[in-house]
Structure 1
Amino acid sequence: MSECEEATDRELAIDRRRHQRWVLITMIGLRFVTVLPIAVISSFFPQEVERWRPVSEASLYMDIITGVFGSTAILGSIASSQWVINDIGTRHLLCLTVFLLGMSTILFGCLDYTNSWPGFISLSVIIRLVQGFAYGLTDVIVYGLGTAASSEQMGLASGLLELSFAIGGASGPAIGGILHKVGGFGLPLFCDWWSDVGLYDGSGQSLVFVR
């Protein structure tokens, strides 16, 4: 093998490692922000429920909303099985799921404008159904892409992805509480949507060659 070919191979290897690192970093960021919709509302959603119902019932409705989200997230994870990814394509499916997650997050942030309790709780459940399903799809794809991008250090990649999930879940209530005090009900959710879009836009450059 000539020196020119060896230099080309080294450059390709460097580019490949850089590409893998960028995919892993963006997937870590996406996993962090996609868990925020679960966590950010826990600090202020019960207060919104208290506008309509007694204080003693606020935690019950919070549990219902959380349960709806978790149940449909499981269904979303099942739906993102290998045949779905093969039929639609990983990049296209990630685009679709981030779009659904973002739009449902925006709609949930607009619930503050409802003027009746039946409308508020009904829309909350419906939106969380869509949001949970989109989250289940997104989480499986993000985790798969993140670990596949670092196949030589899959244990480290898996640990970093789980760490970002844990940090997002732990910091979500604090972030939601601060943003709620600053801008009201919708601001925490609108900020989460912007972070979703920004990170997906960054990851899109690294997923150009991913089907």
Structure 2
Amino acid sequence: MFSRKSSSHNLLFRKPITRSVTFTHISTLREEDEDGEAQEPMSTLSGHSGPGGSHLMSASMPVFKTPINLEEEEEESKAGGLRWFRELTNRSKSLIAILCLANFSATVFYSCIAPFFPSYAAMKGATETEVGLIFGCFQLVIFVMSPLWGIALPKIGAKFMFVTGILTTGVAAVLMGFLEYCPAGRTFVAMCFAIRLVDAVGVSAFMTASFSIIASQFPNAISTVFGACETFNGLGYTLGPPIGGALYQIGGFLLPFAVLGSLVCCCGIASWLLFPSFETSNEKEEAPSYRKYFMLPGVWVSLASVFCATLGLGFLDAMYGPHLEAFHITPAVVGAIFLLPSVLYFLCAPFLGVRIDRHGRAAEYMVAGAMISGACYLFMGPAPFLNLQGKLWVLIIANIVLGLGTCCQLIPPFSKNLEVTIKAGFVDNFETHGMVSGALSSATALGAFVGPAAGGFAVENLGFSWTVTGIAFFQLFVATATVLYMIYEKRPKRRPKITFSTEVDPEDDEVDEANEKTPLMFHI
């Protein structure tokens, strides 16, 4: 309850606030430094006279050990950018470098087989359906394994999971090259499935661990570091096919896998030698609840953004090439068109990550990304109602802009998902990071699997243009759902009602008159 004496009218027109608080005399206080050792207070702060003989501070005035500079705190809270990177320790820089190199080498290995593996597998007796399943099972295994790795991460440790995952991927890559000496037919197909499954298990492990490491080691620059890793991801997807094709032409089937697999193994050894232990506490904490996690609307919005982006990209990887061949262009031009969105993606990813870390607005970027991608898919078909069939330049422009939309759909969800989870009451530790990482990795892989699988069926029954139009409307649906979530998130919160009493307390009047002569600055 507030008395009439402390109202705004009293403060402005009557007299100073009169309820005083008495502080212990500063001469009786002892300060403690960071090591816990007691220190004598400064004589100039204890009410004694300074050199000029005047009192510097009243005995009843509270003392602040360190002045507060809000501008400096605000400046320090900004993360990302070249200045932030230059101020990092050498350990942190090497950590980022290994994470980026691991993402690059793994994606180069994944994408390098596209130019030569389908035809080589056909020579070994594999059917087109079997080749498609060899490609598709990779993403399906990641979808299944990523949440399991998220649960296991606190138990086995982020460093151990990352190192073993990347080494498993490298060994699987090298073994893939030795399939050149495998007998043709069922044996070759079975060995391809086995090695591909092991590779997917390793990739899911090191991806889940890498997301958790980023969240724990760079909490103020999650999007910046994640954007840097995604830049090297895009670079790996872009350079993988030409590198794989060139190595295959030079040394046959074994050379691409031997070279790239060895590069992946080197990343694993470097991470084992240079990574510190990421364990933060030996105390047993309650495991996060997946049920509570999946009840959060913000979680589903971020997962939908990732799923929608990878679904479209997976569909284009499988179905866009035959559609472009109808324009009677060379395979080199087709390959160049495929590279266009990847180039814009890895150029924009680091800048978008820095901007999100500094200014936030992750949900707004997800909405913009879904709308941009949806518009691009409408023109890439093009949609039958646009009457733009036969115009290659429209498809090329849409393909370029798609890289920007995909970037806005894939970079913000990780920081947004983690932010929503922490605000919901989850502890900011490796258990929560593993859960978020596993869910996002799983959603990414599910989109990459459903895109080619369901897209191929839809193209056979509806045609390419209508299928792409359906993907465009799905993108716009996700954008609408994200907007509704933003409205829900910004809804006004209930605040406790404050009531003001107009009753006059006689005792308050007596205290006010007694203390009226005391200066205002020493009373609250």
Q: Does the 8 Å contact 1:109/1:185 carry over to 2? A: yes
* 1:25 partner SS: helix
Q: Does the 8 Å contact 1:76/1:135 carry over to 2? A: no
Q: Tell which deviates more after alignment, 87-96 or 178-187.
A: 87-96
Please list the CA deviations of residues 125-156 of structure 1 after superposition, one character each: whole Å capped at 9, or x if unmatched.
Answer: 11111111111111121233234333222221
Question: Are 1:114 and 2:114 matched, yes or no?
Answer: no
CA deviation after TM superposition for structure 1 residue 116, in Å: 2.1
TM-score by length of 2: 0.35
Aligned pairs for 1:67-106 within 5 A? 67-81=136-150, 83-106=151-174
Question: Are 1:48 and 2:120 matched, yes or no?
Answer: yes
| Map of 1:135 onto structure 2 | 203
* 2:166 partner SS: helix
* 1:50 partner SS: helix
Question: Are 1:37 and 2:106 matched, yes or no?
Answer: no
Instruction: After the TM superposition, list the runs of 4 or more consecutive aligned residues in structure 1 that deviate by more than 4 angstroms.
Output: none
CA distance in 2, matches of 1:62, 1:37: 17
Aligned pairs for 1:1-211 within 5 A? 17-53=89-125, 57-58=127-128, 60-81=129-150, 83-211=151-279
CA deviation after TM superposition for structure 1 residue 201, in Å: 2.4
CA distance in 2, matches of 1:88, 1:158: 23
| Distance change in 2, residues 1:96/1:200 (3 Å) | closer
CA deviation after TM superposition for structure 1 residue 67, in Å: 0.6
CA distance in 2, matches of 1:93, 1:190: 23
| Distance change in 2, residues 1:120/1:148 (3 Å) | same
TM-score by length of 1: 0.83
RMSD, aligned α-carbons: 2.3
1:133 partner letter? V
CA distance in 2, matches of 1:104, 1:15: 38
Q: Does the 8 Å contact 2:158/2:212 carry over to 1? A: no
Query: Which structure 2 segments of 5+ residues have no match?
Result: 1-32, 34-85, 280-524
Q: Does the 8 Å contact 1:85/1:93 carry over to 2? A: yes
CA distance in 2, matches of 1:210, 1:123: 36
More helix by share: 1
Identity among equivalent pairs (%): 18
Q: Does the 8 Å contact 2:125/2:184 carry over to 1? A: no
CA distance in 2, matches of 1:205, 1:134: 19
1:36 partner letter? V
CA deviation after TM superposition for structure 1 residue 43, in Å: 1.1
CA deviation after TM superposition for structure 1 residue 53, in Å: 4.2
Q: In terms of Rg, which structure is larger?
A: 2
Higher relative contact order (CA 8 A, sep 6+): 1
Q: Tell which deviates more after alignment, 18-27 or 142-151.
A: 142-151
Give the total of aligned pairs.
196
Query: Which structure 1 segments of 5+ residues have no match?
Result: 2-13
CA distance in 1, matches of 2:253, 2:211: 30
Q: Tell which deviates more after alignment, 187-196 or 143-152.
A: 143-152
CA distance in 1, matches of 2:87, 2:159: 20
Please list the CA deviations of residues 1-24 of structure 1 after superposition, one character each: whole Å capped at 9, or x if unmatched.
Answer: 7xxxxxxxxxxxx99632112111
Please list the CA deviations of residues 153-197 of structure 1 after superposition, one character each: whole Å capped at 9, or x if unmatched.
Answer: 222111111111111112111111011111111111111221112
Q: Does the 8 Å contact 1:35/1:168 carry over to 2? A: yes
* 1:175 partner SS: helix
Q: Does the 8 Å contact 1:76/1:134 carry over to 2? A: no
2:119 partner letter? Q
* 2:278 partner SS: coil
| Distance change in 2, residues 1:146/1:175 (3 Å) | farther
* 1:152 partner SS: coil
Q: Does the 8 Å contact 1:146/1:161 carry over to 2? A: no
Q: Tell which deviates more after alignment, 45-54 or 176-185.
A: 45-54
| Distance change in 2, residues 1:170/1:62 (3 Å) | farther
| Distance change in 2, residues 1:46/1:25 (3 Å) | same
